[in-house]
Amino acid sequence: MHDLAPGTVPDMDWLNFHHLRYFHTVAREGSISRASRLLHVSQPSISAQLRELERAFGERLFQRQGRGIVPTDMGRLVQGYAEQIFGLGRELLDAVRDRPTGRPLRVQVGVADVVPKELAFRLLEPLVSGPERVHLVVREDRPERLLAELALYQLDLVIADAPVASGSKVRAFHHALGATAVTVFGTSALVRPLRRGFPGSLDGARFVLPLDDSELRREFEAWRRAAGVAVEVAAEVEDSALARQFAGAGLGFVLAPAVLARDLARRGLVAAGELPEVRCRYFAVTVERRVKHPAVVRLLAAAREDLFG
């Protein structure tokens, strides 16, 4: 172990693998006491060496959760590299055939089921197509279930159409990805007669709408009431991809973010027009206020700079 004068910053050209082994075991076990029994090292000794490792990195690597501890965002990043390092060590000792020197950076993303599939793809695609190798795991579910998984550190972030509610039991932070106008889409045959006098021409039009508990539906209903526009609801569909199948068959209009106009055009849907003052907003939800996971940082940057501009 290197002796450090008080107040000095450690030289990061070295890495104490004993410290890293203790960190790796504690992260895997979720408890210093359990790691102590496995490593046959006293708890105070493990705690002291974890502090040395945190001091070397200049970052907190653990935080308390209930009666145990879990890695922070940076801790999960360090844990991934530790698994690579010790995995390669085991391979060396077992004299197995050569393997790649590094594994892709793993990122687990939850996508709320109300987020359009095309938009989810546009948000996630830069992670897979970028220069750095990433192992992307995507789960889709209702927002409240994804937030529960996020709280258990089973996800790195959740993509949602609304920020975390103020009364939520999950301690999480939302980061704005961007906002876009809401556009009415339909087949060209349905859209053509509506373009003159839009959006008032929507009065009496048939729609395939999202369920009434979605942000998009609430925004649309608020606009419709204010504008005095009455519409016929042909269907209410939870899955936006299924709603677009109905629209593509000429059974009604659908609502979608304006940024997806090109994507929907490839599916035979054209824009009738944008609804005045109606916006879709999207958020990345994480358990930490400051995003540190490199893949999450990349996703936020691509969304803000490229997708939503």
Domain borders along the chain are 17-94, 105-178+283-307, 179-279
Read off the DSSP letter of residue 109: E
Local confidence band at 154 (pLDDT 50, 70, 90 cut-offs): confident
Phi, psi for residue 171 in degrees, rounded to 5: -85, 105
The arithmetic mean of pLDDT across residues 129-138, rounded, is: 86
The mean pLDDT value of the chain amounts to: 86
Give the predicted TM-score (pTM) of the model: 0.66
**Fold: same for 17-94 and 105-178+283-307:** no
Residues 22-41: pLDDT tens digits?
A: 998 998 888 899 888 888 88
Q: Which CATH class is domain 105-178+283-307?
A: alpha beta
Q: Which CATH class is domain 179-279?
A: alpha beta
Q: How far apart are CA 113 and CA 99, in angstroms?
A: 38
Domain 17-94 is of which CATH architecture?
Answer: Orthogonal Bundle (1.10)
In the chain, which ranges are E strands?
A: 62-65, 68-71, 105-112, 134-141, 157-160, 173-186, 206-209, 232-236, 254-257, 270-286
Question: Which position has the token pair 């939800």?
Answer: 285
Q: What is the DSSP string of 29-69?
A: HT-HHHHHHHHT--HHHHHHHHHHHHHHHTS--EEEETTEE
Q: What is the DSSP string of 128-146?
A: HHSSS-EEEEEEEE-HHHH
Better-predicted residue by pLDDT, 16 or 118:
118
